[in-house]
Amino acid sequence: MPKGTNWFYTLGSATLFAFLSQAVTGVFLGDVLPSGSRGRCVRVDPSRDHTRLFLGQFVRGMHKWGSSVMVILVFLHMGRVFFFGAYKYPRELNWVIGVTLLILTM
């Protein structure tokens, strides 16, 4: 790490970790089928999906809280980029991509 860096510079990596966590827990939760469905379209109570998954309630909690953490981290990261002036030349394209990702996150 170069001298003069602080924890503000870890917000992008933390946001990436939160996104990966959301993706992994979302795949686990989305893979769970209701018991007795056998491939048919069945209306499922979303609060009961986690019962068939090992540590399902923990995974569902991680997914629920991870979404809030990710939104907070995205706003903190975008604020850091804005206030530190990291969106200026030659990084304008990075800023546009970041704003697009912020909109997609919301």
Distance CA 57, CA 73 (A): 24
Structure-token match 């018991």, residue found? 35
Tell me the domain boundaries of the chain: 11-105
Q: Say yes or no to pLDDT of 38 above 60.
A: no
Worst-scoring range by mean pLDDT, 9-13, 50-54, 61-65, 73-77?
Answer: 50-54
Cβ atoms within 10 Å of 67's Cβ, excluding its own:
16
| Tokens describing residue 104 | 């997609």
Predicted local confidence at residue 27, as pLDDT: 84
Instruction: Find, among 5, 9, 6, the residue nearest to 77 by Cα.
Output: 9
Please give the class, per CATH, of domain 11-105: mainly alpha
pLDDT of residue 12: 92
Side chain identity at 17, as an amino acid letter?
F
Runs of H (alpha helix) within the chain: 11-30, 56-83, 92-105
Residue 48 has pLDDT above 70, yes or no: no
